[in-house]
Structure 1
Amino acid sequence: MAFPKFYYHRQIWEGKRELTALLQNQIWVNEINKQILNTRYFGHSLIEFAYNEKAELQVSLIPRQNVDPVGGFLYPDYSDDKRINYREIGEFGTWLIEFGDGSEFGLLNNAVPHVLFKRFAQSCWSELCEIYGIPPRVMKTNTNDPVMVKRAEQMMRDMGAAAWFIIDESEKFEFATATVTNGDVYNNLIRLCNNEISMLITGAIIGQDTKNGSRAKDESSQEMLQTLVDSDLSLIEQYWNSVVIPALVNIGVISGEVIFAYDKSENLQELWERAKDANSFKNMKLDPNWVKEKLVLK
């Protein structure tokens, strides 16, 4: 897992190690990162800094239904027409910052059709289970005799919870036979919707069943997912360095020229093998501190 670090002029400065350790344990830092990532799904996030009664910094999301990111308006009451142009007030850029593009609706908007079709398929499958799982009961009687009809109704009500109806002795009832009554058509539609949603969010279909999946497919999907994760980390770095850090400097939370960055992910197994090979040469010596920090050895 990648952890953020703060750098000074692109070189680690000893004083920034303390800042890194301090901010890694702050809840509001994770809240900022979450709202930055949520711009992928919602398109836009507007957050506000504030101090609580314990003089601790907090971050809160302005409800999206109260924000018009296209025009830059904030509605204190979304049911009222009173609004504030939040980009023109003095707190904007310091106590009030935004992420994302106001003209985009995010990935969740693209996932809506697939979610609706999936719920439709689940509803139809549930109805199929109700019809064929608990078949309705039929009673034939003389419908022209009110006494017999009333007695038949009472009998059907007392016999269970399945649907029932009464027909005349001269009438006939049959189920319409479908091509497939085991729910495969609904199962296939649900699987299609799941795959489309997975492709939309992760860029690949991860964790396929044994019939359609394979190890090679899953490894390729994991690589695609890692590419998206790296892109998300890069997005967080960009917003921290261009928006969040200037705001925190103005508030007085941090000081100096600070750069937010994540450690680049490395293959520790491969790095360990290369380190052992390098250590076998007479003229090369590994720095013990580097080995402890990089490979987390004690």
Structure 2
Amino acid sequence: MAQGAKVGRTYDNRPSNIILPKSKTLSVQTIKKWKDALTLAQLPENANRKPLLELYDSILLDSHLASVIETRVLKIKQSKFKIVDASGKSNPELNKLFEQPWFNSFIFHAVNSKFKGTTVVELWDLNPETMGLANVNLIEPENVIPDKGLIVKENGDQTGYSYKEDPLKPYYIQIGKNKDLGILKDVAPDALTKKFAKASWSEFVEKYGIPPRWVTTDSYSESRENELADMMANMVSNHWAVLKGNEKIEVMNATGKDSYEIFDKLIDRMNSEMTKRVLGQDGTTDAGANGTYGSLKVMQDVSDDRHDADKTDVKDLINSDLFWRLQLISPVYTALKGYTFDWDDSKEMTADELVDKVCKLSTAGFEVDTKFITDKTGIPIIGLKQEQTTKLDPIEATQKKKSQNLTPVAFYKTKL
């Protein structure tokens, strides 16, 4: 079955190699194109996602949308994890198998599928030295037919490699259900509206950034009219003119607060709508947002809910689809048998917090591992400081002992 397949090296006949390389071009996208692309992608038979994926590539050029998406993706990539046995005990040595670039790529594709829809990744190349997985390859979504479980040579083909059946099944993971089109299908109208607003604003600035101006004259001389026309044409760089008689230059007042707000407010609203769809709220992403600490805390909790849901989905994906495949494609991962993946939610204390805890434990009579403290704080500890005692002269010692037995008043009189 799987273990006999040619996996771990690059073979010319592997499914990802049949996909023809092609250049991507960005075309002008409109609301109508979004509707048509959505219709094509949702056809019950022979659905075509390519137009919708092209639209996704276009709207992801929006810096705001890309940023809020990265907020969800990066938060998962930066989360701590652990590999645990049936009793819940972690094995730090197994963590090293996943502290690799390929695992970061896998996490990225797993979370990104929530936005782009059904995603298929390839687990094929092994590092010849360690025999561990070298990378995770993304299969171009337009070359995948999820309903049939096929990887095809070109978009539109109906025959190809079946990645849901043996012998290829262990080396391909489908992330998401067959019909998933991702969150981007919902935010696309807002992103396109914002793009149109920015284009219109740029056109407005081009036309009215330098206000329209004209000159009036009572001269009927054609030569004078030509002189005035040349004067107005050169006035952008010269900023002066020579006028005669009743000639007068007037400037149109086309820029004002209302003109500015027409575009800026619309862009702000579209940003807010996109952020709400991705993060559930927009209070933590808008620098100008007003609110009490309590209201902002509630908004942050809404974002955290999505973060927790993402972590749950990724954990389930790793345990149900990744672990058993890894154990088949390389003997390095056979150590994972009986273990599962989980997120490490333990709080990491700061150096100051750790020192404070150590002081309290020491005062309470507990002994603390100095090596642990050094590793966590970076402060080299060479041992415990011994309390120094000064030897007293026998006469001084006797006087000191007597003074300790006297009341404060008696001691004062004795000293006098």
Shorter-normalised TM-score: what interval? 0.7 to 0.9
Contact 1:118 / 1:190 at 8 angstroms: preserved in 2? yes
Q: 1:197 aligns with which of 274, 280, 303?
A: 274
Q: Deviations over 1:58-90 (max 9, x none)?
A: 211001121122332322222x52532524542
Structure 1 residue 53 displacement after superposition: 7.3
Superposition map of 1:165-204 within 5 A = 181-204=258-281
Structure 2's unaligned 5+ residue stretches are 1-77, 238-249, 379-416
Structure 1 residue 131 displacement after superposition: 3.6
- The alpha-carbon distance between structure 1 residues 225 and 30, as it changes in their structure 2 partners (threshold 3 A), is same
- The alpha-carbon distance between structure 1 residues 147 and 101, as it changes in their structure 2 partners (threshold 3 A), is farther
- The alpha-carbon distance between structure 1 residues 152 and 174, as it changes in their structure 2 partners (threshold 3 A), is closer
Q: 2:212 aligns with which of 136, 145, 149?
A: 136
- Say whether 1:219 aligns with 2:297: yes
Q: 1:34 aligns with which of 83, 87, 108?
A: 108
Superposition map of 1:36-75 within 5 A = 36-51=110-125, 54=128, 57-75=134-152
Q: 2:345 aligns with which of 248, 253, 264?
A: 264
The amino acid of 1:50's aligned partner reads: W
What SS does the aligned partner of 1:11 have? coil
The amino acid of 1:17's aligned partner reads: P
Considering fraction of residues, name the structure with more strand. Answer: 1
What SS does the aligned partner of 2:169 have? coil
Structure 1 residue 265 displacement after superposition: 4.7
> 2-side partners of 1:81 and 1:74: how far apart?
9
- The alpha-carbon distance between structure 1 residues 145 and 29, as it changes in their structure 2 partners (threshold 3 A), is same
What SS does the aligned partner of 1:260 have? strand
The amino acid of 2:97's aligned partner reads: L
Question: What residue number does 2:169 align with?
Answer: 93
Q: Deviations over 1:94-115 (max 9, x none)?
A: 1111111221211111111111
Contact 1:76 / 1:82 at 8 angstroms: preserved in 2? no
What SS does the aligned partner of 1:187 have? helix
> 2-side partners of 1:179 and 1:151: how far apart?
32
Structure 1 residue 133 displacement after superposition: 2.4
Contact 2:280 / 2:303 at 8 angstroms: preserved in 1? yes
Structural RMSD (CA): 4.0
Structure 1 residue 218 displacement after superposition: 2.2
TM superposition score normalised by structure 2:
0.56
Contact 1:93 / 1:243 at 8 angstroms: preserved in 2? no
- The alpha-carbon distance between structure 1 residues 64 and 88, as it changes in their structure 2 partners (threshold 3 A), is closer
Question: What residue number does 1:254 align with?
Answer: 333
Question: What residue number does 1:166 align with?
Answer: none
- Say whether 1:121 aligns with 2:200: no
- Say whether 1:6 aligns with 2:86: no
Contact 1:203 / 1:224 at 8 angstroms: preserved in 2? yes
- Say whether 1:244 aligns with 2:336: no
- The alpha-carbon distance between structure 1 residues 195 and 265, as it changes in their structure 2 partners (threshold 3 A), is farther
Aligned residues: 281
> 2-side partners of 1:265 and 1:138: how far apart?
71
Superposition map of 1:10-29 within 5 A = 10-12=87-89, 16-24=91-99, 26-29=100-103
What SS does the aligned partner of 2:123 have? strand
Q: Percent identity?
A: 22
TM superposition score normalised by structure 1:
0.76
Structure 1 residue 141 displacement after superposition: 7.6
- The alpha-carbon distance between structure 1 residues 296 and 155, as it changes in their structure 2 partners (threshold 3 A), is same
The amino acid of 2:340's aligned partner reads: I
> 2-side partners of 1:72 and 1:237: how far apart?
23
